[in-house]
Amino acid sequence: MLPFQAAVQDQSSRATKNPTIEVALFFDAAGYQLFSPYFSGDDVKLRDMLLAYMNGVWCVKNTKRISLSVV
Q: Is the pLDDT of residue 8 over 60?
A: no
On whether the CB atoms of residues 51 and 43 are closer than 8 A, the answer is no
Whether the CA torsion 53, 54, 59, 60 is positive or negative: it is positive
For 47-51, the CB contacts below 8 A with 24+ separation are 50/25
> In angstroms, rounded to a whole number, what is the distance separating the alpha carbons of residues 41 and 51?
17
- Residue 33's pLDDT is 94
Residues in the chain: 71
Stated pTM of the model: 0.57
Every domain of the chain and the residues it spans: 18-71
pLDDT tens for 38-52 read 999 999 999 999 999
Q: Report the run of H or E that residue 7 belongs to, with start and end.
A: helix 3-13
Q: Looking at residue 67, what DSSP letter applies?
A: S
Percent of the chain scoring above 90 in pLDDT: 37
